[in-house]
Amino acid sequence: MSRAIRAKSAGPLAAVLLLAFTAPVLKADSLAALPLSLAPHFVASSLGPVPPISRYLAHSKVAAVVRLTARGKADDSERTFEVVEPIKGLDIPAGKSFVLKTKNRYDEAGDLFVFLQKEAGDPVEECWLFGVTDTVLRYIRKAPSLEIPPRFRLPYFLNYLEDSDPRINKDAFAEFQAAEFHDIEAISTQLPRAKLRSWIADPEIGGERFSIYGSMLGLCGNADDAKRLAAIIFKPKEEPREGLDGIIVGYLLLTGETGLSLIEKHNFQDKELPFSESYAALVATRFIWEKGIGRISPDRLRGAIRLLLERPEFADLIIMQSARWSDWSIQKRLVEMYDDDAFNIPVVKRKIIQFMMLSVKEGTKEGSATVPQHAVDATESLQMMREKDPKLYEQVERLFAP
């Protein structure tokens, strides 16, 4: 017999887990409907990093820890669960059972789960179930609340970054993916330097972990670590290396403008270097511009990426990056490139026109006492480009005009 389940708080996990039930017969048959920003962290996603469980659970109103006690036949989606610990939004007491429909075919009697629903009263289809263990639950119970400042929360997760339980180490790593750079920088003296050295040398650790561990080593490392990072950067492999951008960030954090000079020579000026290696360095310079305040001067960063402007495969990226960084010094070169066969690529020509429009906008913004020369020159260049390529100009004006 169906009965309504009222919102109710109970149990020691209330500050950590939030969960909702709307009826004792529930359906959790689809993760596809779950917004990406709320996807359960323990479910792998090819669409990008999923948030740590602390963020995901904070978006749910009600919660419970449950145990599978019985399952239907192989082709039957019904499962019977016993409530182990009602957290919030559940009026079924611990020890009582309910039936849930799920497409999970790999669960076994005795398995533990956390069951979530975003809002109390949501349709029963909008509830989610994911497996945990006693170890995972202990990790969750001990995790600091989101209300605690990051500099006090994050050290807890350092201990679990390469934990033997993949569900725990993935979640701990996600905490650092979600953290602001300045919050990680605030705990730089607590970062595990020896472990970070080991991890970036481990061929089994790659991708996003390789990147973030490299950046973290840049916050806590020394001159020897700069050499370790340089050995990785300056010995490129044939295949693309995912996460190299973070290794370069760590190197630049440790070496500043001296290291940037070597990056310029190796990653920007060497036209034989694979695109992915140069692009990783470009991404790293963007990060240093945005996050590494004071370590490398803006003029040096502007000058560094300017070296890539002469490579047609990078031209459109550098044109727009230069505009964002207000580097109007490349305008004369862009006018020359507009008629250069090597750069006679529609996307490059569109970006040149867009750059000129942004130059004019920057130079004529409200409150300017005088119009700077770059805006005057850009106005003349735009007139020339409109006459040469009226259709292309109109396209840019329609789609990108500031």
Q: What is the mean pLDDT of residues 33-49?
A: 34
The domain spans of the chain are 25-142, 194-310, 325-402
For CA atoms 71, 41, 118, 135, give the dihedral sign.
Answer: positive
- pLDDT of 70: 85
- pLDDT of 142: 92
- pLDDT of 6: 30
Higher pLDDT, 95 or 250: 250
Backbone angles phi, psi at 19, to 5 degrees: -150, 155
Classify each residue of 312-347 as buried b or exposed e, where b means 16 or more C-beta atoms within 10 Å of its C-beta. Answer: eebbbbbbebbbebebbebbeebbebbeeeebeeee
Q: Are 296 and 259 in contact (CB under 8 A)?
A: no
Does 295 have pLDDT greater than 80?
yes
CA–CA dist 347, 345 (Å, integer): 6
Q: What fold is seen in the domain 25-142?
A: OB fold (Dihydrolipoamide Acetyltransferase, E2P) (2.40.50)
- pLDDT of 343: 96
**Residue range 64-103, pLDDT digits in tens:** 888 999 877 666 777 888 989 877 776 678 888 877 777 6
CA–CA dist 216, 401 (Å, integer): 39
Q: Are 382 and 361 in contact (CB under 8 A)?
A: no
- pLDDT of 105: 63
pLDDT grade for 175, boundaries at 50, 70 and 90: very high
**Residue range 369-392, pLDDT digits in tens:** 789 999 999 999 999 999 999 999
**Tokens 């670590």 identify what position?**
225
